[in-house]
């Protein structure tokens, strides 16, 4: 049998895109709609894991954390505000596209995110045009840093961990992958990630002056 294909696994929020619904986005929502951020955030912390694990719909989550009392705005208005917080990191998206083409990599996403946000972001930013499959917490019902989510990614791809790279903006999540045999990269910015990938033999092609 031939050697297994090299795989590039990576997080979505903080790597390919901005985070979908983080502390800053929640604070912006509170300011925009005029509700109490502290109370909302307390409720968020108590239930968001359940939403990310696919055990609550977005509507159920929002009813628990915001619409437990009468509001001057609608759930749909808040939902659309949430979606609008997402933006791409174009340099990282183009980097992954180039690496996939140049090295014949398989590409898989391993992310913690709720179903509606995941589905919206995949479609909105056309992630499936270069990501082969998505191991999202809402699909598989467990979250990073649970080691089983990384093992599932290996099972789905039939990849060997030693031929797999995992990129995450959260250092601990990259370290957990490293403990399972992946080459873990803590993503801080595009430049340091390019260097870390090159050190693993996944160079990005010609330097800026020579790139076609």
**pTM for this prediction:** 0.93
Residue that the structure tokens 């968001």 belong to: 48
pLDDT above 90 (res 17): yes
Q: How confident is the model at residue 165 (pLDDT cuts 50, 70, 90)?
A: very high
166-188: average pLDDT: 98
Query: Residue 192 and residue 1: Cα distance in Å, rounded?
Result: 35
Q: From the DSSP assignment, how many helices (H) and strands (E) are in the chain?
A: 10, 5
pLDDT above 50 (res 210): no
17-37: average pLDDT: 97
Query: Please, are residues 162 and 4 in contact by the beta-carbon 8 Å criterion?
Result: no
Q: How far is CA 55 from the centre of its chain?
A: 18
Query: Please, are residues 76 and 99 in contact by the beta-carbon 8 Å criterion?
Result: no
State the distance between the two ends of the chain, measured CA to CA, in whole angstroms: 36
**Mean pLDDT, all residues of the chain:** 95
Query: Residue 117 and residue 58: Cα distance in Å, rounded?
Result: 8
Q: How confident is the model at residue 206 (pLDDT cuts 50, 70, 90)?
A: low
Q: Give the SS3 label for residue 130.
A: coil
Query: Residue 151 and residue 148: Cα distance in Å, rounded?
Result: 5
Exposure on the CB side of residue 117, measured as CA atoms within 13 A = 34
Query: Residue 106 and residue 101: Cα distance in Å, rounded?
Result: 10
Q: How confident is the model at residue 202 (pLDDT cuts 50, 70, 90)?
A: very high
Return the DSSP state at 4.
Answer: P
Percent of the chain residues topping a pLDDT of 90:
93
Q: How confident is the model at residue 212 (pLDDT cuts 50, 70, 90)?
A: very low
78-100: average pLDDT: 98
Cβ neighbours of residue 138 closer than 8 Å, sequence gap 6 or more: 51, 52, 53, 54, 113, 114, 115, 118
Domains within the chain, CATH numbers bracketed: 7-18+88-210 (3.40.50.1000), 23-84 (1.10.150.240)
């Amino acid at each position: 049998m031939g050697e297994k294909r090299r795989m590039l696994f990576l997080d979505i929020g903080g790597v390919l895109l901005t985070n979908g619904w983080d502390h800053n986005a929640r604070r912006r929502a509170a300011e925009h709609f005029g509700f109490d951020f502290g109370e909302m955030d307390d409720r968020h912390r108590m239930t968001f894991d359940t939403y990310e694990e696919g055990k609550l719909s977005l509507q159920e989550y929002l009813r628990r954390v915001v619409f437990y009392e009468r509001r001057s705005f609608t759930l749909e208005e808040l939902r659309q505000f949430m979606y609008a917080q997402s933006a791409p990191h174009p340099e990282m998206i183009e980097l992954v596209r180039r690496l996939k083409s140049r090295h014949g990599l398989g590409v898989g996403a391993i992310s913690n995110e709720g179903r509606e946000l995941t589905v919206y972001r995949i479609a909105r930013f056309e992630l499936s045009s270069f990501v082969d499959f998505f191991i999202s917490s809402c699909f598989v019902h467990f979250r990073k840093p649970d080691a089983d989510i990384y093992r599932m990614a290996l099972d789905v791809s039939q990849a060997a961990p030693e031929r797999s790279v995992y990129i995450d903006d959260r250092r601990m999540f990259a370290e957990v992958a490293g403990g399972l045999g992946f080459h873990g990269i803590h993503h801080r910015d595009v430049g340091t990630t390019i260097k870390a990938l090159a050190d693993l033999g996944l160079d990005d092609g010609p330097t800026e002056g020579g790139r076609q």
